[in-house]
Amino acid sequence: QQKVQQSPESLIVPEGGMASLNCTFSDRNSQYFWWYRQHSGEGPKALMSIFSNGDKKEGRFTAHLNKASLYVSLHIKDSQPSDSALYFCAVMPNYNVLYFGSGTKLTVEP
Amino acid sequence: GPKVLQIPSHQIIDMGQMVTLNCDPVSNHLYFYWYKQILGQQMEFLVNFYNGKVMEKSKLFKDQFSVERPDGSYFTLKIQPTALEDSAVYFCASSSGLGGRDYAEQFFGPGTRLTVL
């Protein structure tokens, strides 16, 4: 069974700062990786996906994947108070099922 | 963006009763999912559904659970009978495709909080 672990559990960054979220997974055959964001009272919403080793940048968000090290990360540049939310790493080892981490609660302080 | 709706938002029932959770997926999506999240824990996959059939289910998808989508209406999760350990938030999701492409993105509803007394 795929194990997905996230760190830190919670993170506080100042407005304009950089937030770095980490995720490790256990299945070396995993192919597809997603970051989801969940605001209070809502369902998770996909932020970005990454399928190849290296970096993928979308605006202020950069995901990094290293399959050999079983590691994926998300970096948020110029953090805004609206980025405050619960962030989930999700691993899709096959074509259907998402395995979620336990989440990182990000708070961006004005 | 595309929205998945879930009805009701909160359901309280007595142990042993039947409950049906309803999901209105994104209109042109073909693949449907249920996930379960116990308070303070990770969201866990229950089941996925395509073309009228269950494709894959986890060990959490007990015999008391069933899913269906009659005539393209709501995608439902039925639990009969319910147990105390079924108390959780249940999230429905849908996607237009599969695999490692962005069209496989799963869109989630806001969840139904089920409390079994």
Residues B30-77 have pLDDT tens digits of 899 999 999 878 899 999 999 899 999 999 999 999 999 987 789 999
* Both tokens assigned to A102: 């336990």
- Tell me whether residue A14 is exposed, middle or buried, using C-beta atoms within 10 angstroms of its C-beta: 0 to 12, 13 to 18, 19 or more: exposed
Under the banding of pLDDT at 50, 70 and 90, the label for residue A45 is very high
Nearest to B111 among A43, A45, A49 (CB): A43
Mean pLDDT is lowest, of A101-110, B80-89, B91-100, for B91-100
Distance (Å, whole) CA A87 – CA B81: 34
Give CA angle at A84 (B5, A17), nearest 5°: 150
Output the six-digit token pair for A103. Answer: 């989440």
Give per-residue pLDDT as tens, A51-105: 899 999 999 999 999 999 999 999 999 999 999 999 999 998 766 789 999 999 9
Matching residue, tokens 């997603």: A34
Q: Do B43 and A88 touch (CB under 8 A)?
A: yes
Backbone angles phi, psi at B23, to 5 degrees: -135, 130
User: Residue B8 corresponds to which tokens in the numbers above?
Assistant: 């009701």
A100 to chain B, any CB pair closer than 8 A? The answer is: yes
Q: Which is nearest to B62 in space by CA: B78, B41, B42, B73?
A: B78
CB contacts of B31 in chain A (<8 Å) are 96
Q: How many Cα atoms sit within 13 Å of B20 on the Cβ side?
A: 8
**Alpha-carbon distance B41 to nearest alpha carbon in chain A (angstroms):** 6
Q: Which residues pair with A76 in a beta bridge?
A: A19, A61
Structure token pair of residue B4: 């998945």
Residue among B41, B108, B112, B113 with most chain A CBs within 10 A, to mutate = B108
CB A74 within 8 A of CB A59: no
The percent of residues above 90 in pLDDT, for chain B, comes to 77
Contact B4 A43 (CB under 8 A): yes
- Return the residue matching tokens 């336990």: A102
The H-or-E segment that residue A11 falls in is strand A10-14
| Cα separation, A107 vs A50, whole angstroms | 24
Q: How much is the CA Rg of chain B, to the nearest whole Å?
A: 14
**pLDDT attached to residue A29:** 84
pLDDT at A26: 93
Instruction: Give A43's contacts in chain B (Cβ within 8 Å).
Output: 4, 6, 91, 93, 108-111
- Residue tagged 């449907």 (tokens): B32
